A and B are shown apart, each in its own frame.
Chain A
């Protein structure tokens, strides 16, 4: 494996993790993961949500303890009890949300917890002078007596980095530092990171912006589903190869299980015509047909969830209209979408989907009840009947339907949410990551259910990070990148390789998305 700096190849890595395993309940968050960060390199850590990035970072910075494997600092095995200890060993962390005291001065923040004192008094003059010197090295000339909160997030971020480096000095972990910065600020931050790299620090860089990885990092490590996919030197690596590492284990799997891309689709159900929202999703136009599954591919942060939220009226679009059966309207609320015959299974099941303390039965009938209105209550008999029917249809395994839904497994909870929407007899179903975080068996069932619903004539829009899955059930695939719909793939184009290329933004596919009129 090529080293960025040959001279240091012989020295042990500043920070190393060997065969790390971490189990939450029954779920393997990490399994046999190796990772290292060498002096003078920027090492990017990549992976979709749930890949295990944050768990690994927490273990490396002492916030979590591994169940298996070991952490080494400069070749010596260490047991990191907490972040303070990690800091003492030279490992500093800067998070996306700056966790400093915004109502204290910049200088105080830099020296928080280790102010130089004389006779127990904080020496204000001294810390202000030192703070100016430190920040000058980062190209910052600001009033260090001003409140930290009076500066932009970018400057706060750099102050946080300066503080972490001053405290630790060997390894700097940057956890999605650019998420809330604009382009100029990102460039400034990168200059700082490059300077630190030149000083011989090891920098671990977590992000999901691929171009930033290529702009800054020397090596990249990709995790998927808690396992190490690989560590590669970026020089000579293409974006496509990185996307492939992130999304699919191999690109040669069988094509389409169900009717697949060639299945006949029915008439148009709904057209989202130029729907968009500034800062969230560029206006897009998309028509869904009866008996059709439209897959949505794209990396995390590409705007795929935002798109679904606009289509269901959760967030309000500031452009475009919905056309449905001769009617043209703007979606103002989920209630309106439900009334129009839409259903939506959100990405975060716990947060936005289930009513944990309510019963399975109530969770299933709630959307139908909301659509009927408060006055026309479903009788207990009707509720039992409906819940029974859809629970059977989706094979929801619950001891009985009066138990709290929180007692069910993730897969069964997801099926409860599906059942909830099916009970409303919808025409359009939007599923955001319907298979995330559920076990393999339930996974396959949900894929089968999606196919069956399509055969029943529903129009489905399915967002998923699982490429093979999307390929398997989609008649059409739209690709999102940087908040834009960048490609619409049909027929022969529905192929993992083509999708990966579109996501990576390299070869332009033949077919461009429908134009906004």
Chain B
């Protein structure tokens, strides 16, 4: 498990620590945790809780990007899943039916994307753009343009409840992270996905079911988006078709990129993508508590992201490697003598 020990040396970890320290400087109580009503409270928990939807999206997005694709529709799929779940519970269905239906809707959306990309050979960015635009319309159709407010305790628990002292969204995101990482790294799925991302034609020639994997990746991304959609709806006790998940696909892609997975496909790391999502949220929370006028929000965010991306660029990695003469865990950069 050299990978695990190597993870602490990654630039992403350094970036997270830097952002957290900055938050601490802005707000000295940042790391304070208190225990109340059987759960933890504190800014740090807020970061994890608010970052959970994007982290969940990023888990699915990592699979898609590893296959050399991208899924722009996850934000809209969140809205669809939220709309389905909310409309069903408001219509008197039990929560289990609503949640199952919402997850199925997400899966279906993902399958649709996968079929467009795989069988119709559309470019991923175009194929998923279709659902990005149409999906939100579909969600609005389901909610008839209004915010569907509900009071179903199960859905609300998914969005705002706590388990073992942690907010449910965080628990769900952690569980998904663990399961997915085990699934791709304890089986050959991860290697096969990387093979498809690096060279789809060659993957087919060695007998990897490339099309099935591609469809699977998009379906999984849709499924993850549905989970995020249910969480967001539960959080505000309502499905807001206009705003649920709006632009979150971009945050998810950014999280994956910060996590070091190339948009050209191939090597991927789901834990690092989740770390990317946490970095983004830590930044958002930092801006919120900084007291800076909101006009600066986007500028500050853009500046920090550029800094992070520069830090983990190959150029910076080289400079870093030169300063640290011996590193056991970086054999891939070495070339043949």
Q: Assess A/B contact in the complex (Cβ within 8 A).
A: yes
User: Complex formed: what's the CA distance from A117 to B191 in Å?
Assistant: 60
A355–B202 CB distance below 8 A = yes
Alpha-carbon separation in the docked complex, A220 to B56 (Å): 65
Contact of A366 among B191, B334, B335, B336 (CB under 8 A): B191
The 8 A CB mask of A235-260 against B (1 = contact, 0 = none) is 00000000000000000000000000
Interface residue B39 (Cβ < 8 Å from any Cβ of A): no
- Do A356 and B206 form a contact, CB below 8 Å, given A377-B186, A403-B331? no
Instruction: Give B228-267 interface residues, CB cut-off 8 Å to A.
Output: 266-267
Mask for A378-411, Cβ within 8 A of B = 1, else 0? 1000000000000000000011101110011100
Give Cα distance in the complex from A399 to B337, angstroms.
8
Q: Which residues on B sit within 8 Å (CB–CB) of A357?
A: 194, 198, 266-267
Partner of B198, one of A337, A356, A373: A356
Instruction: Report whether A370 and B201 are in contact in the complex, using a CB–CB cutoff of 8 Å.
Output: no
- Is B189 among interface residues, defined by CB-CB distance under 8 A? yes
Tell me if A89 is interfacial: C-beta within 8 Å of chain B. no
Interface residues of B in 188-213 (CB under 8 A from A): 188-189, 191-192, 194-195, 198-199, 201-209
Q: Which residues of A contact B335 (CB under 8 A)?
A: 403, 407
Q: Is A377 touching B187 in the complex (CB atoms < 8 A)?
A: yes
The answer on a CB contact under 8 Å between B331 and A400 is yes
Chain A residues whose C-beta falls within 8 Å of the C-beta of B332 in the assembled complex: 359, 402-404
What is the number of contacts between chain A and chain B, taking CB atoms within 8 Å?
A: 97
Which residues of chain A come closer than 8 Å to B198, judged between CB atoms? 355-358
What size tier do the contact residues of chain A reach?
Answer: 35 or more
Known A-B contacts A355-B198, A403-B334, A407-B335; the reply to A374 vs B189 at CB < 8 A is yes
B207 and A339 contacting across the interface, CB-CB below 8 Å: yes
Q: Is the CB of A354 within 8 A of B202?
A: yes
Q: Is A226 an interface residue (CB 8 A)?
A: no
Q: Within the complex, which residue of A358, A373, A398, A409 is in contact with B266, where a contact is CB–CB below 8 Å? A: A358
Decide: A334 and B334 in contact? CB cutoff 8 A.
no
Contacts of B202 in A (CB 8 A): 346, 351-355
- Whether B336 contacts A351 by the Cβ 8 Å rule is no
A374 touching B336, Cβ below 8 Å? no
Is A329 positioned at the interface, with any CB of B under 8 Å from its CB? no
CB distance from A36 to the nearest CB of B (A): 41
CB-defined contacts of A488 to chain B, threshold 8 Å:
none
Query: Cβ of B201 and Cβ of A407 under 8 Å apart?
Result: no
Does A338 reach chain B (CB closer than 8 Å)? yes
Question: Is residue A369 within 8 Å, beta carbon to beta carbon, of the partner chain?
Answer: yes
Smallest Cβ distance from A334 to chain B, in angstroms?
A: 5
Knowing A337-B207, A357-B267, A399-B337, say if A352 contacts B201 (CB, 8 Å): yes
B77 CB to closest chain A CB (Å) equals 25
Whole-angstrom distance from the CB of B264 to the nearest CB of chain A? 9
Contact status B206-A372, CB under 8 Å: no
What does the 1/0 interface line of A12-39 toward B look like (CB < 8 Å)? 0000000000000000000000000000
User: In chain B, residues 303-337, which have Cβ atoms closer than 8 Å to a Cβ of chain A?
Assistant: 331-332, 334-337
Q: How far is the CA of A314 from the CA of B337 in the complex (A)?
A: 37
From 88 to 127 in chain B, residues with beta carbon under 8 angstroms from any chain A beta carbon are none
| A335 touching B267 in the complex, CB below 8 Å, given contacts A356-B198, A374-B189, A375-B187 | no
Shortest distance between the CB of A500 and any CB in chain B (Å): 32
CA of A356 to CA of B204 in the docked complex: distance in angstroms? 15
Do A374 and B192 contact each other (CB < 8 Å), given the known contacts A335-B207, A357-B198? yes
Q: Flag if A399 contacts B205 (CB, 8 Å).
A: no
Is B199 a contact partner of A354 (Cβ separation < 8 A)? yes
Shortest C-beta distance, A436 to chain B (Å), equals 17
Q: How far is the CB of A170 from chain B (nearest CB, A)?
A: 42
Question: Does A208 belong to the interface (CB within 8 Å)?
Answer: no
Residue A420 CB within 8 A of the other chain: yes
| Least Cβ–Cβ distance between B335 and chain A, in angstroms | 5
Partner of A369 from the list B188, B201, B336 (CB cut-off 8 Å) is B188
11 residue pairs bridging A and B, Cβ less than 8 Å apart? A335-B208, A335-B209, A337-B207, A357-B194, A357-B266, A358-B195, A358-B198, A370-B192, A374-B189, A404-B332, A420-B206
Interface residues of A (CB under 8 A from B): 312, 314, 333-335, 337-339, 344, 346, 351-359, 362, 366-367, 369-378, 398-400, 402-404, 407-409, 420
